[in-house]
């Protein structure tokens, strides 16, 4: 029979040219099906959306993090991983350094970059609004190493300064 295809003659893994992408292509992970079983840090609620175990991601981990009003996490770092935090809702205050001596704030629409091995702490700077963020890391597995740090009492505020964004306190 010309043009007919006998499905019983061989395994059906790639019956049709489009089938190879059917289960190994784009994945949609519904927001109400995130995985709470991830390494965590006291004070925050992390959930995985994209990781090796769920979708086979080799080089990325993505999920959400929420922090209750006026709450803060314990000090931690993420080993060799780079992290990006995108603030969806609320006001994030980050502290970082060997004694958490530096601080900066971010609001909805802002991105935060955390380099490998940097000790840091996330703080919800709002007394009445939950802090909601999207989190992306540079590996398919989650790493969270909680550390015991005695933070300085008054951290130094650090502004975003680069060749394009100048310190507003600097004279022109």
User: Which residues in the chain belong to E strands, given as ranges?
Assistant: 45-50, 61-67, 76-77, 83-89, 92-96, 102-106, 111-114, 120-124, 131-137, 145-146, 156-157
**Exposed, middle or buried by CB within 10 Å (0-12, 13-18, 19+), for 163?**
exposed
Furthest CA-CA distance within the chain? 83
Residue-wise pLDDT for 88-126, tens only, equals 999 999 999 999 999 999 999 999 999 999 999 999 999
Residue-wise pLDDT for 126-139, tens only, equals 999 999 999 999 99
What pLDDT score was predicted for residue 56?
87
């Amino acid at each position: 029979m010309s043009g007919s295809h006998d499905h019983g003659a061989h395994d059906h893994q790639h019956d049709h040219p489009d089938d190879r992408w059917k289960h190994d292509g784009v994945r949609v992970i519904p927001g109400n099906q995130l995985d709470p079983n991830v390494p965590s840090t006291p004070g925050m609620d992390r959930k995985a959306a994209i990781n090796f175990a769920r979708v086979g991601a080799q080089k990325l981990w993505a999920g959400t993090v929420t922090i209750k009003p006026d709450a803060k996490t314990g000090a931690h770092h993420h080993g060799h991983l780079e992290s990006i935090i995108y603030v969806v809702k609320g006001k994030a205050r980050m502290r970082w350094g060997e004694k958490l001596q530096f601080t900066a704030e971010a609001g909805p629409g802002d991105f935060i970059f955390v380099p490998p091995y940097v000790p840091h702490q996330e703080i919800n700077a709002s007394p009445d609004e939950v802090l909601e963020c999207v989190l992306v890391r540079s590996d398919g597995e989650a790493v969270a190493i909680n550390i015991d740090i005695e933070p300085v009492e008054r951290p130094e505020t650090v502004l975003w300064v680069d060749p394009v964004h100048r310190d507003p306190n600097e004279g022109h």
